[in-house]
Amino acid sequence: MGRKEISCSWKKNTSNIKEVFDFKAKMGSGSFSDVYMVREKSTGNLYALKCLRKKYLMLSNLENEIKVLRRIKHDNVVKLEDFYESRTHYYLVMELVSGGELFDRILERGVYTEKDASSVILQVLQAVSYLHENSIVHRDLKPENLLFYDTDENAKIMISDFGLSKISDHGVMSTACGTPGYVAPEVLSQKPYSKAVDCWAIGVITYILLCGYPPFFEENETRLFNKIMRADYAFHAPYWDDISESAKDFIKNMMQKNPTQRFTTEEALVHPWITGKTARSQDICQSVCEQLRRNFAKSKWKVSD
C-alpha cells in the first residue's frame, strides 16, 4: 500500500538512526512512540529523540506538529531541533528537558506556596500569549505537558507536546479535541471555538495547583462533560480556606463559561495574583500534596504519546 510521505526541505534520511545518535536512556513511551535521551555523535550534544512508528501514524497530525514547532521560538516552549526519517520511523530531535513533570516536582518540594503556583502560571501564560500572537492554539494544555527545563531549583517551565496544536489564522476552529477534564465548555458543546480554550485549560491547571484535585470530577464521562458545560465547580472548605481571594478571582476569570467573557492571556498577565502582588507565601504543600497523591496517581495522569 502506497504511503504519503512528509515533505519538508530540511528532513534528513537515515537507514539507521543509531549511526547518528548514541541512545543513553529511555525517557518515556506512548501508544505509537518512544522517547530517548540521545547524544549526537557528530557534536556530543544531548537531545530528546521522539521515535514514531510509521505504520501507526496519522501523517496529518505529525505534519501539523512539525509545522507548528518550526514556527515557534520561545524560552518556555520545547524546541524542535531536527527531523529524520528511516524506512520504518520518523524521528523528532527535540531540545532535552530533564527536570520532570510539574506535579512530580511539587510532590518532591517540601515547601510550596501560592507564589510558587503563580510563578508557574506566569511562565505558562507568557508562552501561550506568544503562541496566540502567532495564531497558534495549543488545544491540549494539561499538567503532564508542563515540564521543568532541568533539576535546578529555579528551573523554568517548558510547554511540550504540540500534537493537537493548530495554526488558526482565522481564529475559529471546530474539531473536538483535548483531554477530558481540561476541555472548555464550548468544545464539548460542539460550538466553533477560539484560542480562549487555552485560557480555560490554564484556569483548570491553576485550580489543581492550589488544592491538588480537579475542579470537575465524575467517574461517568457524560456527567463530567455536563458539569464542565455548566462550569459547575466550587472552592470547597477546608481545602480553599487558606487560599487568597485574589487567586480565586483569577481562576473565576479564566474559567468563565462564556469564552467572550473569559480572560485573554493579556488580561491574565496583568492580574495582581500573576504579577505577584497578592499571591500568598503561606506553605500549602502538605494539603496540596496529599490531594495530588490521592487524585493524580501516576497511572491516572500519565498518558504520553
Helix, strand, or coil here: 256? coil
C-alpha cell at 162: 504540540
Pseudo-torsion of CA 165, 143, 192, 189, nearest 10°? 140
Q: Where are the domains of the chain?
A: 14-95, 102-292
Can you list the positions of beta strands (E) in the chain?
A: 12-13, 21-29, 33-40, 46-53, 80-85, 89-95, 136-137, 146-148, 157-159, 166-167
> Which DSSP category does 1 fall into?
-
272: Cβ–Cβ under 8 A, 6 or more apart, which residues?
A: 246, 278
Catalytic residues: 140
CATH number of the domain located at residue range(s) 14-95 in this protein: 3.30.200.20
Establish whether domains 14-95 and 102-292 are of one fold.
Answer: no
Which CATH class for the 102-292 domain? mainly alpha
Q: How many Cβ atoms sit within 10 Å of the Cβ of residue 199? A: 26
What is the rounded CA–CA span in Å between residue 35 and residue 12? 19
Question: Which amino acid appears at position 119 of this protein?
Answer: S
> What pTM was computed for the model?
0.85
Per-residue pLDDT of the chain (305 residues; tens, 9 = 90+): 334 555 555 667 888 999 999 999 998 777 677 889 999 999 999 999 999 888 766 666 777 778 778 888 899 998 889 999 999 888 999 999 989 889 999 988 889 999 999 999 999 999 999 999 988 888 788 888 899 999 998 899 998 875 555 455 444 444 444 467 888 888 787 766 678 999 999 999 999 999 999 999 888 888 989 999 999 999 999 999 999 999 999 999 999 999 999 999 999 999 999 998 999 999 999 999 999 999 886 544 443 33
